[in-house]
């Protein structure tokens, strides 16, 4: 079955007596333009978007008929969970992770990123409060910031760090 757009969200959909079948996506598949996977019940689903980059989220409905409703669910994956203790620490962590070009997620007052052992060990050695867990990565931080310097030669990051510190 081929579809090209979402048709709603499970929270606002009339399910009635229909069964819900889930189309399981990994966090990195949620922004793909072409996806071909089976639902949990085995229905083959193909998605193709030529005009825009879709962003699938937990609960998006992609198909319905008189018997079933097919909704997106994001599968859990190994993640690094970081609990920053201050604004300064949040800025430092975001800078560390940004330099590595690893996607960052923010959910329930925690920063999360896909698990990578070298990065986990590096952050642990830096003294951050981190742990490895199984979680759904649902809320990516969307940024398109490029490194740049101001006329006095000071980087934007250095200005932020100064503002967030006590001095």
**Where are the domains positioned within the chain?**
2-74, 77-164
pLDDT at 165: 62
Q: 106: which strand partners?
A: 111
Neighbours of 70 (CB within 10 A): 24
What CATH number was assigned to the domain covering residues 77-164? Answer: 3.30.70.790
Report whether 130 contacts 124 (CB < 8 A). Answer: yes
Q: Return the CATH fold of 2-74.
A: HSP40/DNAj peptide-binding domain (2.60.260)
Report whether 120 contacts 80 (CB < 8 A). Answer: yes
The answer for residues whose C-beta is within 8 angstroms of residue 37's C-beta and 6 or more apart is 23, 24, 25, 29, 44, 45
**Six-digit token string for 19:** 């069964």
Residue ranges in the chain whose pLDDT is less than 70: 142-167
Report whether 88 contacts 81 (CB < 8 A). Answer: no
pLDDT at 154: 57
Q: Strands of 11-129 (E only): list them.
A: 19-25, 34-38, 44-48, 60-64, 68-74, 77-82, 105-107, 110-114
What is the distance between the alpha carbons of residues 113 and 9, in angstroms, rounded to a whole number?
25
pLDDT at 71: 95
pLDDT digits (tens, 9 = 90+) for 24-50: 999 999 888 889 999 999 999 998 887
Find, among 61, 64, 78, 83, the residue nearest to 5 by Cα: 61
pLDDT at 151: 47
pLDDT at 19: 95
């Amino acid at each position: 079955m081929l579809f090209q757009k979402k048709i709603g969200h499970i929270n606002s959909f009339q399910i009635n007596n229909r069964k819900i079948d889930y189309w399981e996506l990994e966090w990195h598949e949620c922004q793909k333009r072409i996806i071909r996977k089976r639902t949990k019940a085995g229905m083959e689903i193909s998605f193709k978007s030529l005009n825009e980059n879709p962003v699938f989220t937990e609960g998006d409905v992609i198909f319905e008929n008189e018997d079933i409703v097919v909704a997106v669910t994001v599968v859990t994956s190994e993640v690094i969970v970081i609990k920053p203790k201050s604004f300064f620490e949040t800025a430092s962590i975001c800078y560390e992770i940004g330099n590595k070009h690893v996607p960052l997620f923010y959910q329930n007052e925690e920063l999360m990123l896909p698990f990578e052992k070298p990065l986990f060990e590096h952050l642990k050695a830096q003294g951050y409060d981190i742990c490895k867990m199984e979680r759904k990565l649902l809320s990516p931080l969307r940024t398109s910031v490029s490194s740049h310097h101001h006329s006095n030669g000071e980087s934007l990051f250095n200005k932020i760090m100064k503002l967030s510190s006590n001095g």
